[in-house]
Amino acid sequence: MATTSSSCCSSFVYQSSLFPKHPRLSPNTSFFSPRRLRFSPTVVRVTSAIAVEPVSTRISSLEGQVFACPVCYQPLIRKGPPGFNLRAIYRSGFKCQNCDKSYSSKDNYLDLTVIAGLKDYVELKPARTELFRSPLVSFLYERGWRQNFNRSGFPGPDEEFKMAQEYFKSAQGGLLVDVSCGSGLFSRKFAKSGTYSGVVALDFSENMLRQCYDFIKQDETILTTNLALVRADVSRLPFSSGSVDAVHAGAALHCWPSPSNAVAEISRTLRSGGVFVGTTFLRYTSSTPWIQRTLRERIVQGYSYLTEEEIEDLCTSCGLSNYTSKVEQSFIMFTAQKP
């Protein structure tokens, strides 16, 4: 049962249908099994407007449809070997029956961007996104670049992972999406922890995903876990609404082209009770002298650094609640939950 913020009256909701959102994916369909057999007919206690599905009632099956079309958000139909590991997904083809658009894997990651497969159109993102598409930056990222963050108060990957896992307790056994995973520093830890039924390592940078695969290859135990590598834009996440249990976004918010579109997308994909945990660099903190604050530009060196108040405002205005955060120098880890 998740923590709740007020002592409002409780009520009970009966989950009567196994497949409420995707009637096309009937349990009798021979090839395509339902997206996820997550709900069993059960009574779920609702307190303070947060309906939390008890973890014990979830059946952790990711054999069905996890991914949705980034154009229309309809679930993608999959053809290929079953399983949610890298090899099975690599060998699978995905198709949106609504848009008649096909998606496939390249270099071991599944490309679920709107621009996947386009021949002539090329889209350039802002510099803070394009920078990480470079092969050199992607190569250097886990070989020194990320370690530099410690100077700004980031506690380091091991501690950040531990802190995130604490916040994700109510999402255990569910699907975790590591948005803007970079070279997969945290995705690998989430996958290896065995805490989740599935982990999606998702980034817009093809080279970061290649690096991610190179690291995964070195560890046979991760290769066979329920881990998928997906290229996607955080502003157009390839998941159905309310289908994700946990979203992690490490050191990413300041790199996104539009933090508001990104948080809105994250909120859309989270199920009721689902948890969002993010870290980023703050523009300034409550202890920064007033005179220094006025000198700090909203966009510094091409990044979008926000304040604590702005991040909370963003989460709240995108429909997330129970916001809390931890701050150390410029480092902030924040969490919020889908009501």
Ligand X SMILES: C[S@@+](CC[C@H](N)C(=O)[O-])C[C@H]1O[C@@H](n2cnc3c(N)ncnc32)[C@H](O)[C@@H]1O
Tell me which amino acid residue 69 is: C
Residue 317 structure tokens = 């205005």
* CB 16, min distance to ligand X, A: 36
Looking at residues 123 to 182 of the shown chain, list those that interact with ligand X (rule: CB under 6 A): 125, 129, 132, 146, 180-182
CB 309 within 8 A of CB 332: no
State which residue, 252 or 306, has the beta carbon closest to ligand X: 252
Residue 8 structure tokens = 């409002």
State which residue, 50 or 175, has the beta carbon closest to ligand X: 175
* CB 334, min distance to ligand X, A: 14
Looking at residues 223 to 252 of the shown chain, list those that interact with ligand X (rule: CB under 6 A): 233-235, 250-252
Judging by DSSP bridges, how do beta strands 270-281 and 331-337 pair with one another? antiparallel
State which residue, 87 or 326, has the beta carbon closest to ligand X: 326
* CB 251, min distance to ligand X, A: 4
Helices 206-217 & 185-193, crossing angle to 10 degrees?
Answer: 40
Looking at residues 41 to 80 of the shown chain, list those that interact with ligand X (rule: CB under 6 A): none
State how far the Cα of 273 lies from the Cα of 204, in Å rounded to an integer: 27
State which residue, 27 or 135, has the beta carbon closest to ligand X: 135
185 near ligand X (CB under 6 A): yes
Residues 6+ apart with CB under 8 A from 94: 67, 76, 77, 78, 79, 102, 103, 104, 110, 112
State which residue, 131 or 223, has the beta carbon closest to ligand X: 131
DSSP assignment letter at 253: G
Among the listed ranges 26-34, 51-59, 215-223, 255-263, the one in contact with ligand X (CB under 6 A) is: 255-263
Among the listed ranges 20-28, 31-39, 253-261, 286-294, the one in contact with ligand X (CB under 6 A) is: 253-261
Residues in the interface with ligand X (CB under 6 A) total 22
State which residue, 185 or 311, has the beta carbon closest to ligand X: 185
Q: Residues 2, 52, 171, 208: which binds ligand X (CB under 6 A)?
A: 208
* CB 232, min distance to ligand X, A: 7
State which residue, 234 or 336, has the beta carbon closest to ligand X: 234
The DSSP code sequence of 138-200 is HHHIIIIIGGGGGGGT---HHHHHHHHHHHTGGGTTSEEEEET-TTTHHHHHHHHHT-SSEEE
Cα atoms found within 13 Å of the Cα of residue 11, Cβ hemisphere only: 7
CB 316 within 8 A of CB 334: no
* CB 30, min distance to ligand X, A: 36
Three-state SS for 123? coil
State which residue, 233 or 245, has the beta carbon closest to ligand X: 233
* CB 163, min distance to ligand X, A: 12
State which residue, 1 or 299, has the beta carbon closest to ligand X: 299
Closest CA to 238 of 185, 183, 175: 175
Query: Within 10 A of 284 (CB to CB), how many other CB atoms are there?
Result: 17
* CB 208, min distance to ligand X, A: 4
State how far the Cα of 105 lies from the Cα of 57, in Å rounded to an integer: 33
First to last CA, the chain: 13
Looking at residues 256 to 285 of the shown chain, list those that interact with ligand X (rule: CB under 6 A): 256-257
* CB 173, min distance to ligand X, A: 23
* CB 146, min distance to ligand X, A: 5
Q: Where along the sequence are the contacts to ligand X (CB under 6 A)?
A: 125, 129, 132, 146, 180-182, 185-186, 203-205, 208, 233-235, 250-252, 255-257
